[in-house]
Amino acid sequence: MTVETFLGAIDALLTFDTMVWLLAGVIVGIIVGGLPGLGPPLGMAIILPLTIPLAPADAIILLVGVYSGSMYGGSIAAILINTPGVSSSAATMFDGYPMSKQGRAATALSVSATASAFAGLFTITALILFSPVLIELVLAVGTPERFLVALLGLSMITVITRGSFAKGLLAGAAGLLITTVGSAQPIALERRYADSLLLFDGIDFVAVLIGLFAIAEMMKLAGQEGGIAEGEVTIDRAGIKEGIIETVKRPVTVFKSGMIGMVVGAIPGAGATVSNFVAYSEAVRASDDPDSFGSGNVEGVVASEASNNGTVAGSLVPAISFGIPGSSSTAVLIGGLLMHGLQPGPSMFQVGGELSLTYTMLLALLVGNVVILVFGLTAVTRLGYLTKIDTDYIIPMVIVLSFLGTYALRVNPMDIITIIVFGIIGFYMVRYNYSVIAFVLGVVLGDIAEDNLYTALQLSGGTYDIFYNPFAHGRPLSFLLSVAIFLLLFGPFIKARVERFRGE
Amino acid sequence: MQRRNFIRTTGAVGTAGIVGLAGCADDEPGDEGPADDGAADDGATDDGATDDGNGGDDFPTDDLTWMVPWSEGGGTDTYARQVAVPMEEPLGQSITIDNRPGAGSLAGSEWLSTRDPDGYTFGTINSAGAHFTWRANEVEGWHIEEDFDPFAYSGVFGYTLIVNNDVADEYGIDDYGSLRDAYQDGDIENFGYQGAGSDSHLTTLLLRDNYGLEYGNEVPYDGGGPTMEAVISGEVAAGFATNTSAVNAEESGEASAIVNLMDIDLTGTWPEIDRIDNYGDSLGWITEFTLTQLAPAGTPDHIKETLSDAVEHAVESDSVQQWSEDTGNIVQYGDVQESEDLWYGIVEQMEAEVDAAIGGFDEFLALAQE
């Protein structure tokens, strides 16, 4: 009986030991996520061997606690020092950091904690209630759909580009070009300089992000007196309260972004970074004041942070229902399940199987989001004081942490060069008004688009109708995604024409 | 009860299944793969060289570094972490796992080849997968065989063929013969493998040319995880999965492992599984991977023996045996001689096999890039 199983899961969760592991996991996750470059996979992998003595439920709760906490923790560095703590917090920088510069770091951190927690709460609840639907979604999304999701993300360049449209397209194309370096696995093409193994896996996009944002910003700050905040820094209850209110006033953005995170997160191979940019771009598209994004619009922080925590719920679906690791984080989670004698599969959602453990894990994530909310509002917001510290101290710290964190990810010296090169490129892109966001979208989505385009065309025998003809290959979702891309690209022109026609 | 037994006897495969899976997830743009904690480990190597660089009898006198050329949480990493703890007891020193992922294990392998041959730094590289990757990528500057001294092996895994259950039910596919017939009859068309130019791509071509698998469309995926997902979702009718990943596929209820492409016996996990060598020569040289422990070339024999004895002690320890029993990971010890037999001459043998089957590596790579 499902209700009995659910009540049993609550009982299992509400024990002292389990709650301690959950708390420890979330807090460790927040710390790991907050360090530049490091992210959930590394945090979970370090914790993994330490879970061996634990009971299976406690071990899995500890791991998902780290996962969830890291997703939120990434926003801290993004907001305070313009560095993506995790790649899925990259979009948080666009408006979170300008808020810090305005002396509103505490409000931004408060928005981040509230949006993350609310999105986490309702997406986990949705997963508990609608997991069968999401399982079907995972099976319905194949290679052509993944290409179209990437294309949808790239189409967002038209929405988020401010100023010269040509410069936006150029930046996006340059980002795509970066992803052509290295091996393209489905194609067996080697595209690297002098056959260096350092470039075998291409240019790491996390290093690109850290260079573009953290290093470029530190170069800019080097010429600035005082702290990061250009005005008075306010860390008081009013600022924190403002963050909560600003988030609560945007239920549609929280809901929509959380759902984008959940759905995109459920697609193996897409991941939190993609959902992060898609949700942010959608917030820009839907806004009445799109020009205010990038200069401290709270809505941007809400959208970004709601989406990445929503991704946690979505990514669990392919991982625990099919054993498909959609990302490195869930690969480590599956490793944890197996290490403790649990086999991912439908039995994880069946009463006679491991449903009790699944419920316990999901309920733990619910409680974990409450921990994020409380810890985020009470402790993390105090970190806003960092923006008052003189840049003479901040700059070397950020640079050292950025290099260390990025190097630790792959232990590849090429990433050090990448940070430096893209730090300089980012600095000049901002100076000459080239869209850094468009560039990043190209870098994040290029690999997904290329690999899946090639494989999809292999599936269709080389014909492109697999992307738009719902009858030829039985892929209605491809057709719908193609329509969405068409509307995104041409909707504004069509709308203007229609309005002009009506006006006449 | 039956399901639980299935998990206990096979699951491992489980964790190592993640060999393929985590390795594949590494490149996923949303979350870059986890990495390493061992940047400082070089210190142990250097110290070791000082303390025992001439192969003194007191080896080891300092901590050791175990290089794993894949990410944390992957199958090879999980094996290493299980074995490392009981290995510390006979050695009397602690062992630090140093993950150096990248370039399909070539990055970590290259790094290991440049360490001092003092026994303080060793690693796990999977034969013959690494031999194939090294040869296929025409790596220059170091040699996959000559630059290493194998001293033990600790486990084995490899490829199986999995088929989508709906497809299997519709066309009565339950062994290699019926799978081959379904492709020949045109009932099914797509066959998935793990990346153009990979060992599974070569195996795909061999299955077509030498074992009659007349698929209409060979579809490359970005690694093991996506290939398994494609079979589970029915995007392709059948494809490759390591025996470890195949357990996940089977447990999903959407796919089944029907053919063992390796030489090792998998009937403990799948009593009814068919074997490819029922239909032709063994494919073990390209489909079976041995977790081989290696030290840089020139490591003194007595140090290799010491390390090998420690691996044997660890593999036979209660904790590793229990882990193997619980998860189904195949744990197997091989001594210095046995590991050398599985390490040297493999590239030459592979070249001969590829020459005979495809016409040579150049021809294979040209096919991969078509």
- Among A404, A411, A473, which would you mutate to test the B interface (most chain B Cβ atoms within 10 Å of its Cβ)? A411
| Per-residue model confidence (pLDDT) at position A269 | 67
Please tell me which of the candidates A39, A206, A334 has its beta carbon nearest to residue B21. Answer: A334
Residue ranges and CATH numbers for the domains of chain B are 2-157+287-350 (3.40.190.150), 158-285 (3.40.190.10)
Nearest CA in chain B to A337: B15
Say which range, A320-329, A425-434, B184-193, B201-210, has the weakest mean pLDDT: A320-329
Please tell me which of the candidates B18, B72, B102 has its beta carbon nearest to residue A200. Answer: B102
Residue B61 banded pLDDT, cuts 50, 70, 90 = very high
- Dmax of chain A from CA atoms? 75
Contact A358, A320 (CB under 8 A): yes
Give the pair of three-digit tokens for residue A155. 């189409």
**Percent of chain A scored above 70 by pLDDT?**
95
**Domain of A54, in residue numbers:** 2-225+237-462
Nearest CA in chain B to A190: B137
Exposed, middle or buried, B282 (CB in 10 Å: 0-12/13-18/19+)?
Answer: middle
DSSP lists the bridge partners of residue B160 as: B241, B260
Please tell me which of the candidates B32, B99, B103 has its beta carbon nearest to residue A206. Answer: B32
Specify the long-range contacts of residues A90-93, CB closer than 8 Å, at least 24 apart. Answer: A90/A209, A90/A213, A90/A273, A90/A276, A90/A277, A90/A304, A90/A440, A90/A444, A91/A276, A91/A277, A91/A279, A91/A280, A91/A300, A91/A303, A91/A304, A91/A307, A91/A437, A92/A276, A92/A300, A92/A301, A92/A304, A92/A305, A93/A213
Tell me the DSSP string of B63-89: -EEEEESS-TTSHHHHHHHHHHHHHHH
The average pLDDT across B344-361 equals 89
| Per-residue model confidence (pLDDT) at position B314 | 95
The average pLDDT across B146-173 equals 95
pLDDT in tens, B80-125: 888 988 999 999 998 988 888 777 788 889 999 999 999 999 999 9
Position A164 in a domain = yes
| Per-residue model confidence (pLDDT) at position A340 | 79
**Highest mean pLDDT of the ranges A154-158, A385-389, B158-162:** B158-162
CA distances from residue A140 to A369, B163, B259, B366 in whole angstroms, order as listed: 29, 18, 27, 34
By three-state DSSP, how is residue B217 classified? Answer: strand
pLDDT(A409) > 80: no
CA distances from residue A304 to A87, A93, A307 in whole angstroms, order as listed: 11, 9, 5
pLDDT in tens, B288-318: 999 999 999 999 999 999 999 999 999 999 9
pLDDT in tens, A131-159: 777 777 777 888 999 899 889 889 888 88
**Percent of chain B scored above 70 by pLDDT?**
82
- Among B21, B31, B71, B365, which would you mutate to test the A interface (most chain A Cβ atoms within 10 Å of its Cβ)? B31
Position A230 in a domain = no
**Residue B32 DSSP code:** P
The average pLDDT across B171-176 equals 96
Dist CA A23 CA B325 (whole Å) = 32
Position A351 in a domain = yes
Nearest CA in chain A to B106: A197
The average pLDDT across A236-257 equals 91
Residue A471 banded pLDDT, cuts 50, 70, 90 = confident
Position A472 in a domain = no
| Per-residue model confidence (pLDDT) at position B151 | 97
Give the pair of three-digit tokens for residue B354. 């590829």
Position A477 in a domain = no
pLDDT(B72) > 80: no
Residues of B within 8 A of A208 (CB-CB) are none
Please give, rounded to a whole number of angstroms, the shortest distance from the CA of A326 to a CA of chain B.
Answer: 7
Kindly report the number of other CB atoms within 10 A of residue A166's CB atom.
9
The average pLDDT across B48-73 equals 71
Position A378 in a domain = yes
| Per-residue model confidence (pLDDT) at position A37 | 66
In B165-298 the beta strands, taken as DSSP E runs, fall at 190-193, 217-220, 238-242, 255-260, 274-275, 288-296
pLDDT(A88) > 70: yes
Nearest CA in chain A to B98: A411
pLDDT in tens, A423-457: 999 999 988 989 888 898 898 888 889 888 989 99
Higher pLDDT, A236 or A16: A16
Contact B158, B261 (CB under 8 A): yes
Higher pLDDT, A346 or A175: A175
| Per-residue model confidence (pLDDT) at position A394 | 85
* Interchain CB distance below 8 Å, B220 and A142: no
**Residue A267 DSSP code:** S
Number of domains in chain A: 1
Residue A109 banded pLDDT, cuts 50, 70, 90 = very high
Please tell me which of the candidates A205, A455, A461 has its beta carbon nearest to residue B220. Answer: A455
Contact A262, A313 (CB under 8 A): yes
Position A503 in a domain = no
By three-state DSSP, how is residue A36 classified? Answer: coil
In chain B the beta strands, taken as DSSP E runs, fall at 64-68, 95-99, 121-127, 148-164, 190-193, 217-220, 238-242, 255-260, 274-275, 288-296, 331-334
Mean pLDDT, chain B, whole residue set: 82
Please tell me which of the candidates A45, A444, A447 has its beta carbon nearest to residue B72. Answer: A45
Nearest CA in chain B to A331: B22
* Interchain CB distance below 8 Å, B228 and A324: yes
By three-state DSSP, how is residue A160 classified? Answer: helix
Position A71 in a domain = yes
Assembly ipTM: 0.77
Residues of B within 8 A of A347 (CB-CB) are 3, 251
pLDDT(B51) > 70: no
pLDDT(A254) > 60: yes
| Per-residue model confidence (pLDDT) at position B118 | 94
Q: Is A101 left (phi over 0), alpha (psi -120 to 50) or beta?
A: alpha
Residue B32 banded pLDDT, cuts 50, 70, 90 = very low
Query: In chain A, how many H helices and how many E strands?
Result: 21, 2
The average pLDDT across A349-370 equals 85
Dist CA A119 CA A279 (whole Å) = 12
Q: Which helix (H) or strand (E) holds A189?
A: strand A189-191
